């Protein structure tokens, strides 16, 4: 009994702490979500060190797939600086077990330098903040977009846990044309160890799209592309179990669920 009342006391303390936290952070969002905070005469939006311009009369915030805890959203307008806190909690994304070639789980020593160099090139793209060239919602990367996308899935490759799935996987037949989701500039197009043939497009406004595992790329690094332009074909290159398009979005550096911006913009609203 004593043990039970002690745990009840602890539970009461925990819920009081949570209540205090909830007062400070009114809104709960899942990792990978997009938050929209509309307002009049917004001059600048910011989160952490990143700053950007409003879009369609609102600040849009991308909540990274691995963000946890309280995140402070800041908005500067003619009326001054305002901030809102949102709470990012664990979200029950499903677990996905996959069997791939062993070289994609334990890369050979000879591949490590290549993997590291690719990582450096890619990480530098996450910091891009060029003038915005996209509108929301984004165009679909495939003519027929399947619904199951598995964003956020905890992945186990050949029995070993790896990082959560940071994009949407759209199954499609080998050779299916992949389209640019918006205007932009091809920041990088190359064949990579894990991503296979990959196209990274800078759409400005801090938005970077990634199309992986292509059988063929139809654009080159530095090319200007228009919304809806073919950029490649679906394939099974890199770490895959079969042909599909892996489509990822980084917005202001954060990994967000592409389904929230493609076809329709589905943001959590701050009022
Ligand atoms: Zn994927």
Tens-place pLDDT, residues 195-247: 999 999 999 999 999 999 999 999 999 999 999 999 999 999 999 999 999 99
pLDDT tens figures, 108-156:
999 999 999 999 999 999 999 999 999 999 999 999 998 878 899 999 9
Query: How many angstroms separate the alpha carbon of residue 249 from the centre of ligand 1?
Result: 12
Provide mean pLDDT across the span 35-47. 97
pLDDT of residue 86: 96
Query: How many angstroms separate the alpha carbon of residue 150 from the centre of ligand 1?
Result: 8
Q: Where in the chain is the domain with CATH 2.60.40?
A: 2-88
Query: How many angstroms separate the alpha carbon of residue 246 from the centre of ligand 1?
Result: 4
Query: How many angstroms separate the alpha carbon of residue 42 from the centre of ligand 1?
Result: 36
> How sure is the predictor about 271, in pLDDT bands with cuts at 50, 70 and 90?
confident
Instruction: Kindly state the DSSP code that residue 218 receives in the 8-state scheme.
Output: -
Query: How many angstroms separate the alpha carbon of residue 241 from the centre of ligand 1?
Result: 10
pLDDT of residue 150: 87
Strand-pair category, 80-88 with 27-29: parallel
> How sure is the predictor about 6, in pLDDT bands with cuts at 50, 70 and 90?
very low
Compute φ and ψ for 123, nearest 5 degrees. -60, -35
Provide mean pLDDT across the span 69-80. 95
Higher pLDDT, 162 or 88: 88
Rounded to two decimals, the pTM is: 0.89
d(CA 138, CA 186): 16
Query: How many angstroms separate the alpha carbon of residue 165 from the centre of ligand 1?
Result: 6
* Residues in CB range of 255: below 8 A, 6 or more apart: 32, 64, 65, 66, 166, 167, 248, 249
Asked which of 22-26, 186-190, 232-236 is least confident by mean pLDDT, the reply is 22-26
CATH architecture of 2-88: Sandwich (2.60)
Query: How many angstroms separate the alpha carbon of residue 266 from the centre of ligand 1?
Result: 21
pLDDT of residue 13: 43
- Closest C-alpha to 246, from 155, 135, 133, 123: 155
Q: Where in the chain is the domain with CATH 2.70.70.10?
A: 95-269
For the chain, the average pLDDT equals 91
pLDDT at 80 over 70: yes
Query: How many angstroms separate the alpha carbon of residue 198 from the centre of ligand 1?
Result: 12
| CATH fold for the domain made of 95-269 | Glucose Permease (Domain IIA) (2.70.70)
Query: How many angstroms separate the alpha carbon of residue 211 from the centre of ligand 1?
Result: 9
Helix (H, G, I), strand (E, B), or coil: what is residue 1?
coil
Query: How many angstroms separate the alpha carbon of residue 74 from the centre of ligand 1?
Result: 32
H/E/C letters for each residue in 39-66? CCCEEEEEECCEEECCECCEEEEECCCC
Query: How many angstroms separate the alpha carbon of residue 152 from the centre of ligand 1?
Result: 10
pLDDT of residue 15: 45
> How sure is the predictor about 46, in pLDDT bands with cuts at 50, 70 and 90?
very high
Query: How many angstroms separate the alpha carbon of residue 167 from the centre of ligand 1?
Result: 6
């Amino acid at each position: 009994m004593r043990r039970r009342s002690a745990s009840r006391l602890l539970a009461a303390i925990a819920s009081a702490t949570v209540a205090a936290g909830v007062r400070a952070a009114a809104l709960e969002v899942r990792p990978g979500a997009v938050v929209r905070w509309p307002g009049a005469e917004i001059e600048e939006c910011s989160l952490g060190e990143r700053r950007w311009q409003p879009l369609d009369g609102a600040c849009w915030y991308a909540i990274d797939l691995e963000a946890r805890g309280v995140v402070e959203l800041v908005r500067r307008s003619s009326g001054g600086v305002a901030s809102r806190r949102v709470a990012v909690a664990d979200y029950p994304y499903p677990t996905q077990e996959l069997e791939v070639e062993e070289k994609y789980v334990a890369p050979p020593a000879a591949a490590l330098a290549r993997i590291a160099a690719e990582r450096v090139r890619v990480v530098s793209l996450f910091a891009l903040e060029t003038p915005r060239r996209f509108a929301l919602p984004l165009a679909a990367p495939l003519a027929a977009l399947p619904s199951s996308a598995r964003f956020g899935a905890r992945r186990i490759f050949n029995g070993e846990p790896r990082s959560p799935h940071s994009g949407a996987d759209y199954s499609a037949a080998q050779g299916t044309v992949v389209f640019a989701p918006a205007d932009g500039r091809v920041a990088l197009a190359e064949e990579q160890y894990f991503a296979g043939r990959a196209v990274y497009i800078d759409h400005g406004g801090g938005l970077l799209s990634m199309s992986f595992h292509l059988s063929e790329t139809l654009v080159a690094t530095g090319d200007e592309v228009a919304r809806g332009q073919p950029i490649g074909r679906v394939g099974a290159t890199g770490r895959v179990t079969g042909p599909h398009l892996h489509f990822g979005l980084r917005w202001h550096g954060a990994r967000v669920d592409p389904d929230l911006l493609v076809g329709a913009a589905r943001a959590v609203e701050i009022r």
